[in-house]
Structure 1
C-alpha cells in the first residue's frame, strides 16, 4: 500500500516472531506450554541457552500494584539462568520483555538440579473498561522435585502444570502485548513456552 511503511525494528521483531512461530528455529528441541495463557499480544523470538548449558534458575520482571486508578501490567518478563550445573557463571536468556517493572533476584534449584516444568498464573479477561493484566506469576519444578515460585502478583489463578522436560529447559519464548499508548490498557506478558534440552 502506497505511503504505508513499517519501522525497521518492528519489521525485524515481527519477522522474528513469524520465524519462531513457524518452528523453523526449533531444530531438535521439543516445546512445553500450558493452555491458560492470556489472549493479547504476539509470540516474540526464541532465545536459547548456550551449547552445553541448561536452566538451573530464573528471574521475573514484575510491575508492582499501581493502585485503583492506574494501569497494571503484572509480569513483564522471564529470564532463564543457564549454567553447566553450578550457579556461576550464568548466562541469562529472556526472549522479549515488557518495559514496566523490575527484575527479581534469581531463584535457583538446589545444587545439581535444573528446571523441568512450569505453571503460569494468569488473570482472567475482565471485560469492559476494567484493567487487565495477563500473566502475573510463574512457578517451576526442579529435577529433584522442589518447587520454585516467582515473586509475582497474587491476582489470577495458576493453571495446570506443563509436561516435563526430562533433560531440562534450554530456551524461552514469550508472548507480549506491545505498549498501546496513553490511556490504553496494557497487559505486557501474556504467555510463555519453553524449549527442552535435547541432550
Structure 2
C-alpha cells in the first residue's frame, strides 16, 4: 500500500494511513493502550484498521458500586447519534437513584436509523422520568461525554451515584475537528463533570454501564454508577 492511499470505505481496503492534519495521511498516529493498529514496513508510518475499535474509553470520575453490564454495540457501520436518559432527581424522593437508564440510538452515515436499545437497571423499577430525546445535528455523531458522580456520602445520607451525563457531538462527520454541539444532560450541577472522549477520527459506537443491584426497600439504592464507551474508526468524505 502506498503512503498516499486512503481507504474511504473502498471494498477490500483493510487499513488507513491516518495523520492528524490535512490531508490526514503519511503521518504517525498518537496511540493509546487500547488502540488497534496495523503496522507497515520500515518505509511506511503506522496504519489503522478500517474496523478498529477502542474499548473502553473512560472518564476520571468512576462510579462506586455495581457490576458492568454486557456491552451494547451499534450495528456495524453505524454510530451513536442520540440518547434518552431516565433520571430520578435527587430532591424527588427519600431514596433518589440518579440516572437509571440510558437509551441509545444509532444511525448509519446515510442518515438511516440503525439499532437502538435501553440499558440500565433491570432488577427493580426505580422512580424517575424519561428526559427528552437528545440528538446530534445531521451528519455528526456522539464523540464524547461528561459525567458527574456523587461521592460516597455514608450511611447517614442518600447516595444517588451517577447524577449527570452530558454528551457531546462531533463538529464534523469525520471526528477530526474537535467537539461541536453539546446535548442537555440531566441538568444536575451539584458535582463537577469529567470528560471522556473518542480519539481523532473515532466516534462512539457502543457502551457499557456499571449498575448497582437492588438494595431492597430499606436499602440505599443507586442506579447507574459509571459509563464506558466504545469508539469506532470512521472514514467518510467531507
TM-score by length of 2: 0.65
Partner secondary structure for residue 206 of structure 2: strand
| Corresponding residue of 1:192 | 227
| Corresponding residue of 2:67 | 42
Q: Deviations over 1:92-118 (max 9, x none)?
A: 134433532232221111111101011
By relative contact order (CA 8 Å, sep 6+), the higher-ranking structure is 1
| Corresponding residue of 2:97 | 73
| Corresponding residue of 1:164 | 198
CA contact (8 A) 2:111 2:139 kept: no
| Corresponding residue of 2:174 | none
| Corresponding residue of 2:76 | 51
| Matching of residue 92 in structure 1 with residue 127 in structure 2 | no
| Matching of residue 120 in structure 1 with residue 144 in structure 2 | no
| Corresponding residue of 1:5 | none
Q: How many residue pairs align between the two structures?
A: 172
Q: Deviations over 1:121-145 (max 9, x none)?
A: 1111112321101001111221111
| Matching of residue 178 in structure 1 with residue 213 in structure 2 | yes
List runs of 5+ in structure 1 lacking aligned partners.
Answer: 1-22
By how many angstroms is 1:89 displaced?
3.0
More strand by share: 2
CA contact (8 A) 1:82 1:93 kept: no
Task: Specify which of 167, 186, 211 is matched with residue 140 of structure 1.
Answer: 167
More helix by share: 1
Cα distance in 1 for partners of 2:60, 2:151 equals 13
Relative distance call for 1:117 and 1:194 in structure 2 (3 A) is same
Cα distance in 1 for partners of 2:187, 2:104 equals 16
By how many angstroms is 1:64 displaced?
3.1
Partner secondary structure for residue 208 of structure 2: strand
By how many angstroms is 1:85 displaced?
3.9
By how many angstroms is 1:155 displaced?
3.3
